[in-house]
């Protein structure tokens, strides 16, 4: 999704803006631009395509100065074009604005402004903002802050805004409502950014703006006020992330690096939340035992990959706690007439903590009196701040658009929560808890083992990855793994892929099977009948000459006869096998994408954080 960076201070803003925008590239974009105050003029450079195109333009038409604001745009209103890219200006060219989010009532605002003589150039919703500010100044606003506040009072929707104006040439104005925006407090200037990694190499002191706040940044400091003009004391926090966490560390892509970080991420979650490798002891999650025990029903809400993590969450919580659990897509839940009650714990799952549909759903559930727990990877995000309690997945910045380490960290969070709840509710004995925790501790090493088989997985991906389609089948705990494996494949390799509950195959997808269709079967050994059922499903695929790629437990001879290719993985407890098996599927998708030559970290049309509906 779009990215925002801004700088005001003694340094030249241009290199800082370009560097910051590069660090936001992972969010996905199709055009970019900057506005910079240069010797009393407001200079704008924008262009379609990658930031390298903007850099070339800046080399041809240099600009230097400060303050400056920059933007990477992911088209929503109007095609990717130079005119539609940000910054947008008012009719006099004195005010420039960058914007993330959507101004929902822009058509009526634009209509009114056009009647008052404002010429519009772009098809964007954003362009109304500088014109509104200009109009408020004409209509008697005392100064720019008042004009901005009055303009924003008229805008409906969501925004994170960076604003500069020749009327206040040493200042950046920044406002947020529903779209993330932070202020970075530096020693030689101040920054704005839509995401922390953009400015992490410049400062670690940040202010997370709240909805309805306006920040006024000057070289020497920052003031924050509400849109009604009341001053707010800025809450400056130290970000713990290291800048290197958002770098590739020698890997060819961020996604590859993040896949390889999974053992470490899971190990540190385990170290933090278990005691003597024998019991779960949740740290900093915020509920006391009585609050956990008061939970009667759980509803999990999330989108995309996080929804599949939630689907796993439902299975593991049901299995270990006896609590009834429902799972909902954020985009559906927010418009449903679901029955909600205060004894219900609503669990959101999100890497970014900014997914619009997940956020809207949590707000709805909290209005109905439910308690909200966020399983979230981004401290300070809207979801983390708006929930009653947070389980921080602490996977570090995930830059690759396709989620990997955040997913396995979400699965681990659910496993730990389920054990904790199961024990508190008397569904698990101390001995059972000890065994579960011991088995969880085997997961990071098992993932290491899968990572070490990268070259075998690459060969399988190269063999099967060029067909038009693939089917992924799994059961019970590995049904979400099949869905996630298929999603990874389509996202980054663009090969059409379907994830299915293996038992559903006979109800339709079996018609697809022929000698060309790769069928990825998750058939690691289980203690129950699920494994046998998977073997039967594989026989059905084999009988129709489908090309089986099995993910199987080390040493499982029976799979050898059925599968064309096998990815052997260490056997871990059934309940925890999704954390291991999914890594094989991440690599399978990764190498298929590499063979197809796609842009793995920034797949087409996708955005890292979906902050609009
Ligand atoms: C897929 C992927 C997306 C996200 C989804 C929710 O690889 O990353 O499907 O899972 O957009 O995003 P978050 O987790 O930020 O709420």
Same domain, 83 and 134: yes
Question: How many angstroms does the Cα of residue 226 sit away from the middle of ligand 1?
Answer: 31
**Nearest to residue 555, comparing CAs of 573, 575, 569, 574?**
569
Same domain, 184 and 96: yes
Q: Count the alpha carbons within 13 Å of 215 in the hemisphere toward its beta carbon.
A: 34
Catalytic residue among 22, 46, 525, 608: 608
Report the distance separating Cα 344 and Cα 352, nearest Å: 24
Question: How many angstroms does the Cα of residue 304 sit away from the middle of ligand 1?
Answer: 5
Chosen domain end from 441, 474, 501: 441
Same domain, 194 and 263: no
CB 333 within 8 A of CB 326: no
Full-prediction pTM beyond 0.85?
no
Atom of ligand 1 nearest to the CA of 303: 6
Task: Take residue 313 and report the two structure tokens written for it.
Answer: 């969450």
Same domain, 234 and 181: yes
Same domain, 481 and 374: no
CB 444 within 8 A of CB 347: no
Distances (CA, A) of 64 to 4, 40, 46: 19, 12, 15
Radius of gyration of the chain (CA): 26
Report the distance separating Cα 473 and Cα 457, nearest Å: 18
47 is catalytic: no
pLDDT value at residue 195: 87
Atom of ligand 1 nearest to the CA of 383: 16
Which of helix, strand or coil describes residue 339? coil
For residue 376, what is the domain's CATH number?
Answer: 3.40.50.10490
Total domain count for the chain? Answer: 3
Strands 565-569 and 547-553, sheet pairing: parallel
pLDDT value at residue 1: 65
Question: How many angstroms does the Cα of residue 404 sit away from the middle of ligand 1?
Answer: 10
Virtual CA dihedral for 393, 399, 400, 401, nearest 10 degrees? 80
Question: How many angstroms does the Cα of residue 388 sit away from the middle of ligand 1?
Answer: 22
Which of helix, strand or coil describes residue 421? helix
Report the distance separating Cα 242 and Cα 240, nearest Å: 6
Report the distance separating Cα 348 and Cα 346, nearest Å: 7
Question: How many angstroms does the Cα of residue 303 sit away from the middle of ligand 1?
Answer: 6
Beta bridge partners of 520: 472, 549
Residue 415 belongs to domain spanning = 251-441
Q: Which residues does ligand 1 sit against, CB inside 6 Å?
A: 303-306, 350-352, 355, 358, 402-403, 491, 609-610
Atom of ligand 1 nearest to the CA of 402: 7
Among 255, 302, 304, name the best residue to mutate to test ligand 1's pocket (greatest count of ligand atoms within 8 A of Cβ): 304
608 is catalytic: yes
Task: Take residue 383 and report the two structure tokens written for it.
Answer: 């979801």
Report the distance separating Cα 211 and Cα 448, nearest Å: 42
CB 596 within 8 A of CB 494: yes
Same domain, 153 and 296: no
CA 535 to chain centre: 35
Report the distance separating Cα 181 and Cα 15, nearest Å: 20
Same domain, 426 and 475: no
Domain contains 446: no
Atom of ligand 1 nearest to the CA of 401: 8
Nearest residue by C-alpha to atom 7 in ligand 1: 402
**Nearest to residue 131, comparing CAs of 118, 149, 141?**
118
Chosen domain end from 395, 420, 441: 441
Question: How many angstroms does the Cα of residue 401 sit away from the middle of ligand 1?
Answer: 8
pLDDT block averages, 10 residues each, the chain of length 613: 92 96 81 95 93 94 97 85 93 96 92 96 95 96 95 92 96 92 94 91 92 94 92 90 72 94 96 93 92 95 98 98 96 91 95 94 95 94 92 93 97 98 96 97 95 94 91 98 98 96 94 94 94 96 95 93 96 97 98 95 84 74
Nearest residue by C-alpha to atom 16 in ligand 1: 350
Nearest residue by C-alpha to atom 10 in ligand 1: 305
Same domain, 233 and 90: yes
Catalytic residue among 2, 303, 370, 376: 2
- Neighbour-count burial of 240, counting CB atoms closer than 10 A to its CB (0-12 exposed, 13-18 middle, 19+ buried): exposed
For residue 28, what is the domain's CATH number?
Answer: 3.60.20.10
Same domain, 455 and 598: yes
Among 28, 334, 351, 612, name the best residue to mutate to test ligand 1's pocket (greatest count of ligand atoms within 8 A of Cβ): 351
Same domain, 368 and 457: no
Among 306, 312, 348, 486, name the best residue to mutate to test ligand 1's pocket (greatest count of ligand atoms within 8 A of Cβ): 306
Atom of ligand 1 nearest to the CA of 306: 10
Chosen domain end from 195, 217, 245: 245
Same domain, 462 and 536: yes
Task: Indicate the helix (H) or strand (E) that contains 38.
Answer: strand 31-38
Tally of CB atoms within 10 A around 529:
11
Distances (CA, A) of 439 to 47, 229, 280, 333: 53, 56, 12, 35
Question: How many angstroms does the Cα of residue 419 sit away from the middle of ligand 1?
Answer: 25
**Nearest to residue 478, comparing CAs of 581, 349, 569?**
581
Question: How many angstroms does the Cα of residue 307 sit away from the middle of ligand 1?
Answer: 8
Among 1, 259, 303, name the best residue to mutate to test ligand 1's pocket (greatest count of ligand atoms within 8 A of Cβ): 303
């Amino acid at each position: 999704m779009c990215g925002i960076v801004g700088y005001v201070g003694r340094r030249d803003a241009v290199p800082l803006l370009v560097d910051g925008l590069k660090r936001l590239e992972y969010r996905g974009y199709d055009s970019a631009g900057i506005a910079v105050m240069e010797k009393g003029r407001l200079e704008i450079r924008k262009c379609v395509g990658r930031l390298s195109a903007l850099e070339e333009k800046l080399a041809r038409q240099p600009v230097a100065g400060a303050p400056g604001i920059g933007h990477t745009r992911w088209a929503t209103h109007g095609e990717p074009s130079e005119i539609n890219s940000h910054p947008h200006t008012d009719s006099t060219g004195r005010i420039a604005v960058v914007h993330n989010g959507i101004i929902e009532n822009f058509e009526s605002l634009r209509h009114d402004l056009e009647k008052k003589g404002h010429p519009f150039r772009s098809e964007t919703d954003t362009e109304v903002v500088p014109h509104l500010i200009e109009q408020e100044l004409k209509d008697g606003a005392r100064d720019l802050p008042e004009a901005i506040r009055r303009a924003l009072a008229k805008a409906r929707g969501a925004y994170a805004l960076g604003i500069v104006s020749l009327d206040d040439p040493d200042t950046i104005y920044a406002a947020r409502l529903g779209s993330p925006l932070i202020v970075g407090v530096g020693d030689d200037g101040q920054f704005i950014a839509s995401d922390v990694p953009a400015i992490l190499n410049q400062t670690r002191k940040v202010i997370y703006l709240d909805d309805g706040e306006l920040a006024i940044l000057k070289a020497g400091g920052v003031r924050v006020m509400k849109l009604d003009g009341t001053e707010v004391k800025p809450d400056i926090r130290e970000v713990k992330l290291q800048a290197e966490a958002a770098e590739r560390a020698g890997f060819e892509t961020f996604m590859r690096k993040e896949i390889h970080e999974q053992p470490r991420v899971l190990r540190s979650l385990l170290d933090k939340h278990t005691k003597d490798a024998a019991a779960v002891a949740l740290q900093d999650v915020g509920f006391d035992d009585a609050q956990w025990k008061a939970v009667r029903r759980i509803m999990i809400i999330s989108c995309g990959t996080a929804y599949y993590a939630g689907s796993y969450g439902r299975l593991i919580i049901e299995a270990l706690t006896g609590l009834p659990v429902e799972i909902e897509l954020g985009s559906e839940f927010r418009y449903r007439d679901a029955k909600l009650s205060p004894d219900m714990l609503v669990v959101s799952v999100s890497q970014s903590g900014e997914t619009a549909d997940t956020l809207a759903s949590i707000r709805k559930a909290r209005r109905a009196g439910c308690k909200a727990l966020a399983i979230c990877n981004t401290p300070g995000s809207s979801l983390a701040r708006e929930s009653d309690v947070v389980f921080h997945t602490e996977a570090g910045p995930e830059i690759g658009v396709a989620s990997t380490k955040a997913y396995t960290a979400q699965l681990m969070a659910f496993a730990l929560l389920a054990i904790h709840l199961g024990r508190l509710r008397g569904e698990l004995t101390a001995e059972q808890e000890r065994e579960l925790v011991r088995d969880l501790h085997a997961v990071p090493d098992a993932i290491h083992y899968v990572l070490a088989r990268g070259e075998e997985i690459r060969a399988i991906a190269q063999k099967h990855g060029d067909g038009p389609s693939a089917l992924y089948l799994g059961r019970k705990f590995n049904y979400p793994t099949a869905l996630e494996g298929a999603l990874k494949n389509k996202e980054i390799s663009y090969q059409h892929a379907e994830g299915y509950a293996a038992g559903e195959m006979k109800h339709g997808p079996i018609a697809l099977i022929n000698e060309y269709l790769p069928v990825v079967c998750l058939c690691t050994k289980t203690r129950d009948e699920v494994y046998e059922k998977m073997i039967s499903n594989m026989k059905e695929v084999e009988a129709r000459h489908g090309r089986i790629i099995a993910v199987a437990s080390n040493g499982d001879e029976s799979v050898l006869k059925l599968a064309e290719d096998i990815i052997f993985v260490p056997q871990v407890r059934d309940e925890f096998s999704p954390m291991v098996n999914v890594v094989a599927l991440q690599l399978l998708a990764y190498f298929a994408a590499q063979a197809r030559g796609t842009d793995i970290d920034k797949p087409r049309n996708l955005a890292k954080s979906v902050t609009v509906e």
